[in-house]
């Protein structure tokens, strides 16, 4: 379901709290990826903050038998500024080793309100709504939001190829179990839509609302899980 730009921008901005000043200076995280219960990949992510700027790099590699057929890595990167509302991307890229035709980039021009999506020689310019995140920054934006009393959240997100609205429902006082232990969590789940993937995210409430686990279920019921296995946060 699509909402006018003004609606989700207000929701995203209203959710932003005082965590701007207390946000971490760096985060190192490692996830394992499971498909139908089988470990198929690993993600290593690095978030660094320097005053009011941030840099994010996420590297995904296949493991096991899948690595034989897909040896190339996927590198996502996002950089931008940090203000009272959290992360404000300036550049995003999705680079796929050995699959150059799938590479994507996004440029955010907040001064003119324009989002430029770049894939191969094609450039698409769209209006840039307030609060827009990229595919990578969206998961780290949770650290900058006050979600304790929120029941829903909506925002724009781009993967470099398109711009969509994502709508989530929030359930507090849940728990999540990962190899690091069991933690109190906020459960964030996408609003069900026929024929669309369903996304479930568990944010560790006592660890800056960092995503500890994510499960994506496709319309056929197949699940892809991303589970945190290593985590180092520096205030």
> Among the listed ranges 71-75, 132-136, 212-216, which one has the minimum average pLDDT value?
71-75
Q: Where are the beta strands (DSSP E) in 98-208?
A: 104-109, 114-119, 122-127, 133-134, 152-158, 163-178, 181-190, 198-204
- Residue 5 vs residue 71, higher pLDDT: 71
In the predicted structure, residue 1 carries a pLDDT above the cut 90: no
CA distances (Å), origin 97, targets 62, 94, 112, 116, 123: 12, 10, 33, 23, 21
Does position 42 have pLDDT exceeding 90, yes or no? Answer: yes
Least confident of 4-18, 20-34, 74-88, 132-146: 4-18
Structure tokens at 143: 């650290």
Question: What are the tokens at 181?
Answer: 């232990």
When pLDDT is cut at 50, 70 and 90, the band that residue 232 belongs to is: very high
Q: Which long-range contacts (CB under 8 A, 24 or more apart) does 62-66 make?
A: 63/39, 64/38, 64/39, 64/40, 66/40, 66/41
According to the model, what pLDDT value does residue 22 have?
Answer: 58
pLDDT over 70 (residue 21): no
Domains in the chain (CATH in brackets) are: 5-229 (2.50.20)
Q: Which residue has the tokens 């589970």?
A: 227
- What percent of the chain is modeled with pLDDT above 90? 79
Is residue 11 over pLDDT 60?
no
**If we measure between CA atoms, which residue out of 132, 140, 129, 134 comes closest to residue 118?**
134
pLDDT at 91: 98
């Amino acid at each position: 379901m699509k909402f006018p730009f003004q609606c989700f921008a207000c929701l995203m901005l209203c959710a932003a709290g005082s965590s701007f000043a207390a946000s971490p200076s760096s985060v190192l995280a490692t996830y394992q990826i499971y498909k139908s219960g089988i470990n198929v990949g690993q993600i290593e992510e690095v978030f660094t903050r320097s005053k009011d700027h941030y840099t994010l790099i996420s590297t995904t590699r296949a493991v096991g038998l899948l690595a034989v057929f897909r040896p190339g890595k996927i590198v996502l990167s996002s950089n931008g500024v940090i203000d009272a509302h959290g992360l404000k991307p300036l550049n995003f890229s999705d680079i796929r080793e050995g699959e150059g035709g799938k590479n994507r980039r996004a440029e955010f021009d907040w001064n003119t309100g324009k989002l430029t999506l770049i894939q191969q020689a094609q450039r698409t310019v769209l209006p840039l709504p307030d609060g827009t995140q990229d595919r990578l920054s969206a998961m780290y934006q949770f650290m900058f939001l006050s979600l304790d009393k929120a029941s829903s959240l909506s925002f724009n997100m781009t993967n470099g190829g398109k711009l969509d609205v994502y709508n989530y429902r929030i359930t507090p006082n849940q728990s999540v179990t990962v190899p690091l232990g069991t933690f109190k969590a906020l459960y964030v789940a996408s609003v069900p839509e026929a024929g669309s993937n369903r996304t479930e995210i568990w944010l560790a409430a006592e660890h800056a609302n960092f995503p500890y686990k994510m499960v994506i279920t496709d319309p056929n019921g197949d699940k892809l899980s991303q589970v945190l296995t290593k985590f180092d946060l520096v205030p």
